Amino acid sequence: MTMNPAIELKRISKSFGPVQANKDITIRVMPGTIHGIIGENGAGKSTLMSILYGFYRADAGEIFVDGKKISIPDSQAAIAAGIGMVFQHFKLVENFSVLENIVLGAESGALLSPSLSKARAELATLASEYELNVNPDAIIEDIGVGMQQRVEILKALYRKANILILDEPTGVLTPAEADQLFRILKRLREEGKTIILITHKLREIMDITDTVSVMRQGEMTATLETNRTSPENLAELMVGRKVLLRVDKSPAKPENPVLEIEDLNMFDDFGVQRLKNVSLSVRAGEILGVAGVAGNGQSELLEVLGGYQKANGSVKIKGSEIDLSTGVAGDGQARRAQGIAHVPEDRQREGLIMDFMAWENSVFGYHREKSNQANRFFMDNNAIRKEAEAKLDRFDVRPLDTKLRAKNFSGGNQQKIVLAREIERDPDLLLVGQPTRGVDIGAIEFIHQQIVALRDRGKAILLISVELDEILSLSDKIAVMFDGKIMGERLPSETNEKELGLLMAGVSGEAVQ
Amino acid sequence: MDIMPKWVDIVVVPLFSLFLAAFLAALLILAIGESPVAALNLMIEGTLLRSAGWGYMLYYTTNFIFTGLAVSVAFHAALFNIGGEGQAMIGGLGVALVCLFIPWPHWTLAIMGASIGAALFGMIWAGLPAYLQAKRGSHIVITTIMFNFIAAGVLIFFVVDVLKPTGSMDPASANFPPSTHLPTFQDIASLMGFEKAFRSAPANVSFFIALFACVAIWYLIWRSPLGYEIRALGKSGAAARYAGVRPVKIIMIAMMISGALCGMMAINTTQGESERLILNFTEGAGFIGIAVALMGRSHPAGVFLAALLFGFLYQGGAELALWTKIPREMIVVIQALVILFTGALSLMVRAPLERFFMSIKRADV
């Protein structure tokens, strides 16, 4: 007997206006397997899954579940067909308990308590069946991200999902949490569930999937058995050309310290301490990578150094103290004058004005500098435009159109605009947060090269990233942050992912050794 | 890429909105029992075919340029200044104090003094809600509208209790001295030998100050670093903070420029036309500024054109009220419809146009 595929998409097409997001996509996923879908941002992965979950309607194509053709007009229909989705950003009510969140939207009657007790019993079975233990009475905001993700998975299973779609599930997890997630997924596969894993991380595909589909520019370029392919091969299929996955760099030649941070403390508007006695130093010609799970104080560190968050302590740039007391009043331009350039973590919210044209963005933060002024009153727009064209050309921004608004560039090119602006000023210290988040592989290679080139020109670089791979391959020295503290510093040659992962989870350095 | 060419966005969308508003207004005129075509004829005859009509139209246009620019500047900082009415009233107070209590030798000096007084008073009146927004987070829409009522009260107090000459029954200040009177278009035309042009129309030299303000605001918004910061803050507060732009400072400055422009409307109405401080001289121009700014897409050139249009509607509306059963309020209805279509319902107008252009683009491919 031939088995029906758990899910089969036939010739799915979808366009948004003139943009064709999915073109003739065909996928077959057999039951009891883990199928990976990999592709760069904008390749159409999320659109495809949104069609499967009933958020969008395909312009053309058919969907089969267990061999039966179905239509999925909304997410209720998807749930009824046994499809469950775990979103990248969890859809949980923060101040509800685990149990309440699981029942939400699936209540069985007008009264809540019968639903809750039914769910409690069900949860106990699920927990034993799949080793998915959570405390049903815990409040969501009190439990960790890994736990919250489990709740999302349980929510899907409680709704009798046989097919589970996970969208970039490891983005917010520590390596250890990601390992746990993968154990759960393997367990689910053993029990016969079908899993579709959407990711842009090659390693995850190689580690856990049985089959993998590669998407590029809305099209399915290949479907392969995972054990018959390699990361290099997948990367090439994703980008359409050969790419260098490793960063090519010579050993650092560090000189005098450029940035010296001592006992930095910071409290946010709600009085929560976000930085706790942080001390770090970065020397000229050196990249210091700060690793950590998102939300452990890295953003605040950048904001303080970038000059738009108040803090206590001492920060010196090339030996001279900088004023940390200005806070939100904004001292960003003074910091820039002191030779600090800053590539912020969120380029779309902070680094660029999305509605401004590329040339206007090319002086953002430096717009009051003498070189950009025609006279005392006005900016020299012609000169800025010309300069922008040259800068963007050197950073290979495509399309090379300085009159295009920032929002019309792809993620990678937006990041190149920010980098061009910050690096071309030849700063003494470059603060760079998540340099390759949401950036396609081809551009990652280029961005990494630019950062290393700046280091080789004898500049200091403070790199913050949640991608451990990026930290390990770029940094000359690694510091790990957890809960606003520096958990320890390591040399990349003398550490490994496991040790860093433990530090990221807050297990102190001594315990590791 | 942007779906529609730029000219469609700037020209076709507002014209289309205007057309829809005019169409609905025509239906209303029909319902009243008058002919829309005759009404339009009358409006054109009463404004564009007589020099006095032009004189009235440009007088209103001057007001709307000031308030329209004021609302635009605030819009660029993502602030909605609906307090133009109050800022203009207080600006009028500034004009009156300057004209009554400083002995001016000549109108050229008086208009400079009055402009400074008007701008300063309007600035202060806009600065208070701006401070409350920037420092305390009180929403500017709420505070500016409240300040309109306070301004009306302040104006009444000053006119009735302070500036009204003893014995007068008229709630108005004393007449300004003749040396502060501004030359009207009629005066200027007479100088050039056209004795009959612009007869008794109120348009005066402050129209040229309004034109100058258009140019100055264009330079401010699109050429100066301050304008760059205002626009940056308006588009993204987080990005502005990152770039070292101080939100408190920019909010204060943008609102104070806005208030100053509203205040300067009073040199047209108070110094130029009534030549004394009266009540209700603003006649809703502060609110019309919102329609003008929306329709002019917050660009000085657009504001100028929209102000001309509303000047035409205002003067035309007065003609209608004079010669037909159509009440003057019909013009308010048209304004409201324009605001509705260009502001609240702009998506309704844009969506079909965008679809149209998309189909053209597809056909090209």
- Say what the ipTM of the complex is: 0.86
Asked, for residue B256, whether it belongs to a domain, the answer is yes
Distance from CA of A85 to the nearest CA of B (A): 32
Question: What's the mean per-residue pLDDT of chain B?
Answer: 91
User: Residue A172: is its pLDDT beyond 80?
Assistant: no
What chain A residue is nearest to B228 in terms of C-alpha separation?
A367
Distance CA B204, CA B184 (A): 4
Q: How far is B186 from chain A (nearest CA, A)?
A: 37
**Integer Cα distance of A53 and A271 in angstroms:** 41
| pLDDT reported for residue B265 | 97
The answer to whether the beta carbons of residues A136 and A125 sit under 8 Å apart is no
Average pLDDT, chain A: 89
How far apart are alpha carbons B113 and B102 in whole angstroms?
9
Whether A387 has its CB under 8 Å from any CB of chain B: the answer is: no
Residue B9 in any domain: the answer is: no
Q: What is the pLDDT of residue A143?
A: 86
Q: Quick check: helix, strand or coil at residue B177?
A: coil
Query: To probe the interface with B, which of A356, A362, A401, A403 has the most B CB atoms within 10 Å?
Result: A356
Which candidate, A200, A168, A194, A191, places its Cα nearest to that of A181?
A168
Read off the pLDDT of residues A262-286 as tens digits, 9 standing for 90 and up: 999 999 888 889 999 999 999 999 9
Q: What is the mean pLDDT of residues A311-331?
A: 83
pLDDT value of residue B361: 64
Does the residue B163 lie in any domain? yes
Write out chain B residues lying below 8 Å of A379, CB-based. 223-225, 228
Q: Is residue B74 part of a domain?
A: yes
Cα-based angle A207, A210, A216 (whole degrees, multiple of 5) = 85
Average pLDDT over residues A25-52: 88
DSSP A96: S
Instruction: Test B239 with A331 for CB contact under 8 angstroms.
Output: no
Output the six-digit token pair for B229: 């910061």
What mean pLDDT comes out for the span B164-188? 93
Alpha carbon distance B105, B326 (integer Å): 46
Q: Which residues lie closer than 8 Å to B163 by C-beta, 6 or more apart?
A: B96, B100, B173, B174, B277
Q: Do A329 and B223 touch (CB under 8 A)?
A: no
Maximal C-alpha separation, chain B: 79
Q: Does B363 touch chain A (CB under 8 A)?
A: no
Chain B residues with beta carbon closer than 8 angstroms to that of A306: 242
Candidate ranges A15-19, A21-25, B140-144; pick with highest mean pLDDT = B140-144
Residues in chain B: 365
Chain A nearest CA to B224, separation (Å):
4
pLDDT score of A146 more than 50: yes
Strand order in the sheet with A68-70: A19-29, A7-16, A60-65, A68-70
Task: Count Cα atoms within 13 angstroms, Cβ side, for B353.
Answer: 21
Nearest CB to A379; choose among B224, B236, B361? B224
B365 touches chain A (CB under 8 A): yes
> Measured between alpha carbons, how far is B355 from B11 in angstroms, rounded to an integer?
17
Q: Is the Cα dihedral A476, A478, A479, A482 positive or negative? A: positive
In a domain, B358, yes or no: no
CB A310 within 8 A of CB A324: yes
Answer for the pair A349, B236: CB distance below 8 angstroms, yes or no. yes
Mean pLDDT, rounded, for B47-51: 90
Q: Answer whether A189's CB lies under 8 Å from A32's CB.
A: yes
Average pLDDT over residues A97-102: 91
Query: Cα separations (Å) of A147 from A123, A166, A177, A431?
Result: 14, 15, 9, 32
Q: Return the amino acid letter for A195.
A: I
**H helix or E strand, kind and range, residue A164:** strand A163-167
State whether the Cα torsion B323-B324-B328-B331 is positive or negative: negative
Please compute the mean of the pLDDT values over residues B97-125 and round it to a whole number.
96
Give the list of residues 6+ apart from residue A496 with CB closer than 8 angstroms, or none: none
Contact B243 A356 (CB under 8 A): no
pLDDT at A358: 95
Whether B355 has its CB under 8 Å from any CB of chain A: the answer is no
> Using a CB-CB distance cutoff of 8 angstroms, which residues of chain A are in contact with residue B239?
349-353, 364
Looking at the DSSP assignment, which residues form a beta bridge with residue A373? Answer: A379
pLDDT of residue B255: 97
Mutate to test the interface with A, among B242, B252, B297, B356 (most CBs of A within 10 A): B242
- The confidence score (pLDDT) of residue A351 equals 94
Mean pLDDT on B282-310: 92
Residue B93 or A513, more confident: B93
Q: Which of A381-385, B167-171, B314-318, B345-349 has the lowest mean pLDDT?
A: B345-349
CB A450 within 8 Å of CB A287 = no
- Residues of chain A contacting residue B236, judged by C-beta atoms under 8 Å apart: 349-350, 353-354
**DSSP 8-state assignment for residue B343:** I
d(CA B101, CA B95): 10
Lowest mean pLDDT among A211-225, A232-246, B241-255: A232-246
* Local structure of residue B158 (DSSP, 8 states): I
Rg (CA), chain B: 21
- Closest partner residue to B238 (CB to CB) among A349, A355, A377 is A349
Whether the CB-CB separation of A463 and A475 falls below 8 Å is answered with yes
Residue of A nearest to B247 (CA): A329
Dihedral angle sign, alpha carbons of residues A354, A359, A361, A362: positive
Is B12 a member of any domain? no
The residue of chain A with its CA nearest to that of B239 is A350
Tens-digit pLDDT profile for residues A444-473 = 889 999 999 999 999 999 999 988 889 999
Q: Which of chain B's residues have a Cβ under 8 Å away from the Cβ of A328?
A: 241, 247
B223 has a chain A CB within 8 A of its CB: yes
- Is residue A512 scored above 50 in pLDDT? no
**Number of folded domains in chain B?**
1
pLDDT over threshold 70, residue A329: no
pLDDT of residue B363: 62
Mind telling me how many Å the CA of A490 is from chain B's nearest CA?
30
| Residue A399: cis peptide before it, omega within 30 degrees of 0 | yes
Chain B positions touching A342 (Cβ under 8 A) are 242
Name the residue in chain A with its Cα closest to that of B233.
Answer: A353
User: Which of B230-239, B287-296, B311-320 has the largest mean confidence?
Assistant: B230-239
- The tokens describing A144, both together, are 């960790």
Chain length of chain A:
513
Selecting from B223, B235, B358 the residue whose C-beta is nearest the C-beta of A18 gives: B358
A406, exposed or middle or buried, with CB in 10 Å at 0-12, 13-18, 19+?
buried
d(CA A274, CA A297): 5
Residues in chain A closer than 8 A to B77 (CB atoms): none
- Cβ–Cβ gap A379/B244 under 8 Å: no
In the Cβ-directed half-sphere of B148, how many Cα atoms lie within 13 Å?
A: 18
Q: What is the pLDDT of residue A1?
A: 47
Q: How many CB atoms lie within 10 A of CB B175?
A: 15
Any domain includes B239: yes
Q: Considering only CB atoms, which chain A residues are within 8 Å of B241? A: 308, 328, 330, 332, 350
Lowest-confidence pick of A91-105, A228-242, B163-177:
A228-242
- pLDDT for res A2: 65
Min distance B352 CA to chain A CA atoms (Å): 13
Can you tell me the distance from the alpha carbon of A62 to that of A70, in angstroms, rounded to the nearest whole number? Answer: 8
- pLDDT at residue B29 in the model: 87
The pLDDT-based confidence of A328 (bands split at 50, 70, 90) is low
Structural domains of chain A, with CATH: 7-239 (3.40.50.300), 257-355+423-512 (3.40.50.300)
CB-based burial, A263-301: b 16+ in 10 Å, e otherwise: ebbbeeeeeeebbbebebbbbbbbbbbbbbbbebbbbbb
- From chain B, the residues in CB contact with A364 under 8 A are 232, 239, 243
pLDDT of residue A378: 94
Residue A403 pLDDT: 92
Q: Does B361 touch chain A (CB under 8 A)?
A: yes
Rounded mean pLDDT of B135-161? 95
What's the CA gap between B200 and A372, in Å, rounded? Answer: 50
Which of A364, A373, A407, A417 is most worth mutating to test chain B (most B CB atoms within 10 A of its CB)? A364
- Given 3-state DSSP classes, what are the helix, strand and coil percentages for chain A, each rounded to the nearest 5? 35, 25, 35
A86-95, A447-456, B140-149, B174-183: segment of lowest average pLDDT: A86-95
Residues of chain B neighbouring A335 (CB-CB closer than 8 A): 244
The percent of residues in chain B predicted with pLDDT above 70, rounded, is 97
**Residue B259 resides in a domain:** yes
> In terms of residue numbers, what domain contains B121?
63-312
Q: Are B250 and B233 in contact (CB under 8 A)?
A: yes
Q: Give the number of other Cβ atoms within 10 Å of residue B269's Cβ.
A: 26
| Residues contacting A302, CB < 8 A, separation 6+ | A342, A344, A345, A431, A433, A464
Q: How confident is the model at residue A510 (pLDDT cuts 50, 70, 90)?
A: low
| Chain A residue at shortest CA distance from B218 | A378
**In 3-state terms, what secondary structure has residue A27?**
strand
Which among A302, A298, A261 has a CA at the least distance from the CA of A278? Answer: A261
